Amino acid sequence: MESKAKLFGHAIHPMLIVFPLGLLSMSVIFDIIHFATGVDTWAQSSFWMMGAGIIGGLVAALFGLLDWLAIPDGTRAKVIGRLHGGGNLAVVVLFIVSWLVRRPDQQHPNALAFILSLIGVGLALVTAWLGGELVERLGVGVDEGANLDAPNSLSHQPARAAGVTPRMQP
């Protein structure tokens, strides 16, 4: 099934996710540099990257939701999409809470703010894998010939059994 939200023939959601994923991940790296060096500029930069990543994540989520709504019910792709989207919503919430905890003193994040960010990045790795499963294994957003019920990529089974026609969207 093809993406429902496209720009110049390409799905918008995967174009947008690179920005929040990069910003939020780099905010954690900048925090680590801040803790290692004591230079407040790194923490300040982390705070603002986190804010931009949160906004970008919410924008990307809107386009992801449009694509998810188009996936037929009862398919493995619909379940994986629900886990991917719900997990990413949790990632954004973790970073929102971290951002709010940092807000009073942006140059000196406390342990809670940092731990919330670390958990957010860890969960983002899982949701990124789920997104890859949707696109690369199940073909969601790629073409009309997507196999929305392909087995898990960790199963070492082929995505498409010989002689099996993939389920087409209605």
Cβ-based neighbours of 69, under 8 Å, separated by 6 or more: 4
Q: What is the pLDDT of residues 101-137, one digit of tens each?
A: 999 999 999 999 999 999 999 999 999 999 999 888 8
Q: Where are the domains of the chain?
A: 6-155
Model pTM? 0.83
The residue with greater pLDDT, 87 or 11, is: 87
Q: What is the pLDDT of residue 122?
A: 97
Q: Can you read off the two tokens belonging to residue 69?
A: 């709504």
Cβ-based neighbours of 124, under 8 Å, separated by 6 or more: 21, 24, 25, 88, 91
Least confident interval from 18-22, 45-49, 52-56, 166-170: 166-170
Q: Are 60 and 16 in contact (CB under 8 A)?
A: yes
Average pLDDT, whole number, for the chain? 88
Cβ-based neighbours of 28, under 8 Å, separated by 6 or more: 46, 114, 117, 118, 120, 121
Looking at the chain, the whole-number percentage of residues with pLDDT higher than 70 is 87
Q: What is the pLDDT of residue 10?
A: 77
Looking at the chain, the whole-number percentage of residues with pLDDT higher than 90 is 65
H or E, element range at 6: strand 6-7
H or E, element range at 11: strand 10-11
